């Protein structure tokens, strides 16, 4: 047992309630450290101060409604006192994504603890594509340099794709301290049971910001409805582009076929996936989007939902076209529509993609992924 050894686990994502993102990944890492006998403390946004017997120092979450940079700065300033309080006697610090890592990276120059940085997104790369403030536009080169310097300061860096690893190497991070461990899903907690008519319902799951390409999906939806007027599209999530997406749906006169749920808790996502047969990933083709896998891919697969996605490098590392995914030409809403219509017209192909996706995702079950993350963090492999 290692109960005398202390591990700090931190993220900027909500841990209770979980809204998706890195929350579930981070919480499961904390639970695995505890299972192995470590004294674990969590620093993260949470509405409760203890999760599964692990104490939580609750932090105010950053917001994406305005400036992401100012929000991240506020988050780190507000968390500074808690970090100083709990980190001095820690043996290891595990942080998910760089937004939560700024204060740790600075303090660790003095604390000198083993510092693990777990990255599923490189946030500054999105400043070239997202809806950003004037200040962010002026500072984006500096912010990119800062983010990669934070990554460089970690003792071990965990990334989700090979292309993300190569990007980090290009930016000066030592190759021998980078490990590639993909995202995951709670496979057996997702049901493949679908409600009546589910195969004629589409879903976009997650944040609605410019980098997610949801307007492309709305334009594709208009074409799809000409042949399949019974189709409905679930937009599950919130974001800075949501109001614009709603306006576009009204302008194209398809709003009545769109269901906007807003921000929902993670537990409700599985229920909505049971009402949908085809999950869409319409991310535009840019560097930031090519670096990631995106959690929605794995959750679509786990729920037996067929996936139609942009052909992006990160996704292509784990998905095989026409076997467990149907790729379309990125940024081409007409091709999105064509691929959706193909599946709506071919129930056997749709069922085959759903089955194969469910089979593929077993390689990415959290039960396999999380122990690997902790092993790397502890230098056990």
> Do 160 and 191 lie in a common domain?
no
Task: Flag whether 259 is in a domain.
Answer: yes
How large a percentage of the chain has pLDDT more than 70? 96
Strands 278-281 and 201-205: parallel
Regarding whether 307 and 372 lie in a shared domain, the answer is no
β-strand 201-205 against 178-180: which pairing, if any?
unpaired
Question: Does residue 250 form part of some domain?
Answer: yes
Question: Do 361 and 325 contact (CB within 8 A), yes or no?
Answer: no
Percent of the chain past pLDDT 90, that is, above it, reads 78
- Is 197 inside any structural domain? yes
pLDDT in tens, 258-307: 999 998 888 899 999 999 999 999 999 999 999 999 999 999 999 999 99
Residues 172 and 129 in one domain: yes
Cα–Cα dist 213/336, whole Å:
11
Q: Is 85 a domain residue?
A: yes
Per residue in 14-67, pLDDT (tens digit) is 999 998 779 999 999 999 999 999 999 999 999 999 999 999 999 888 865 555
Angle at 345 between CA 339 and CA 346, to 5 degrees: 90
- What pLDDT is recorded for position 127? 80
Residue-level pLDDT at 68 = 66
Number of domains in the chain: 2
Ranges of residues in the chain whose predicted pLDDT is under 50: none
**Can you say whether residue 52 is alpha, beta or left, with left for phi > 0 and alpha for psi between -120 and 50 degrees?**
left
Within a domain: 1: no
Q: What does DSSP say about strands 258-262 and 6-11: parallel, antiparallel, or unpaired?
A: unpaired
Query: How distant, in Å, are the alpha carbons of 60, 126, 204, 251, 280 from that of 257?
Result: 36, 30, 14, 13, 16
Could you tell me if 143 and 235 lie in one domain?
no
Interatomic CA distance for residues 380 and 257, integer angstroms? 51
Looking at the fold, whether 44 and 169 belong to one and the same domain comes out as yes
**Packing angle between helix 68-87 and helix 102-111, nearest 10 degrees?**
30
User: Could you tell me if 191 and 166 lie in one domain?
Assistant: no
CATH of the domain at 151: 3.40.50.2000
Kindly state the DSSP code that residue 258 receives in the 8-state scheme: E
Range of the domain at 148: 6-184+366-377
218 and 334 in a single domain? The answer is yes
At 49 the three-state DSSP class reads coil
* Distance between CA atoms of residues 113 and 116, nearest Å: 10
């Amino acid at each position: 047992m290692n109960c005398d050894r202390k591990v700090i686990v931190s993220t900027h994502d909500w841990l209770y309630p979980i809204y998706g993102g890195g929350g579930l990944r981070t919480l499961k890492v904390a639970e695995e450290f505890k299972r192995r006998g470590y004294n674990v403390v969590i620093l993260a946004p949470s509405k409760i101060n203890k999760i599964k017997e692990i104490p939580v120092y609750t932090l105010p979450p950053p917001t994406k409604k305005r400036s992401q940079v100012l929000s991240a700065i506020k988050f780190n300033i507000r968390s500074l006192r808690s970090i100083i309080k709990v980190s001095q006697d820690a043996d290891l610090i595990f942080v998910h994504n760089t937004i939560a890592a700024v204060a740790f990276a600075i303090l660790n120059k003095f604390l000198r603890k083993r510092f693990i940085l777990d990255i599923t997104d490189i946030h500054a790369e999105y400043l070239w594509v997202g809806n950003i403030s004037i200040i962010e536009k002026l500072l984006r080169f500096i912010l990119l340099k800062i983010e990669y310097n934070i990554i460089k300061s970690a003792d071990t860096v965990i990334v989700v794709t090979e292309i993300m690893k190569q990007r980090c190497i290009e930016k000066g991070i030592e190759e021998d301290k980078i490990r590639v461990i993909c995202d995951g899903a709670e496979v057996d907690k997702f049901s493949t049971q679908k409600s009546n008519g589910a195969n004629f319902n589409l879903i976009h799951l997650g944040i609605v910001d410019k980098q997610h390409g949801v307007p492309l999906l709305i334009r594709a939806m208009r074409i799809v409805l000409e042949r399949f007027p019974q189709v409905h599209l679930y937009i599950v999530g919130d974001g800075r582009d949501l109001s614009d997406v709603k306006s576009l749906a009204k302008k194209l006169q398809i709003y009545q076929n769109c269901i906007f749920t807003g921000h929902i808790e993670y537990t409700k996502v599985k229920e909505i996936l049971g009402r949908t047969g085809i999950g869409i990933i319409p991310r535009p083709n840019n560097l930031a989007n090519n670096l990631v896998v995106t959690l929605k891919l794995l959750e679509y697969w786990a729920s037996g939902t067929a996936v139609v996605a942009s052909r992006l490098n990160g996704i292509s590392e784990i998905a095989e076209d026409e076997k467990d995914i149907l790729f379309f030409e990125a940024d081409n809403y007409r091709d999105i529509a064509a691929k959706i219509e193909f599946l709506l017209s071919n129930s056997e192909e749709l069922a085959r993609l759903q089955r194969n996706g469910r089979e593929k995702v077993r390689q990415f079950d959290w039960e396999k992924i999380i122990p690997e993350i902790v092993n790397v963090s502890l230098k056990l492999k």
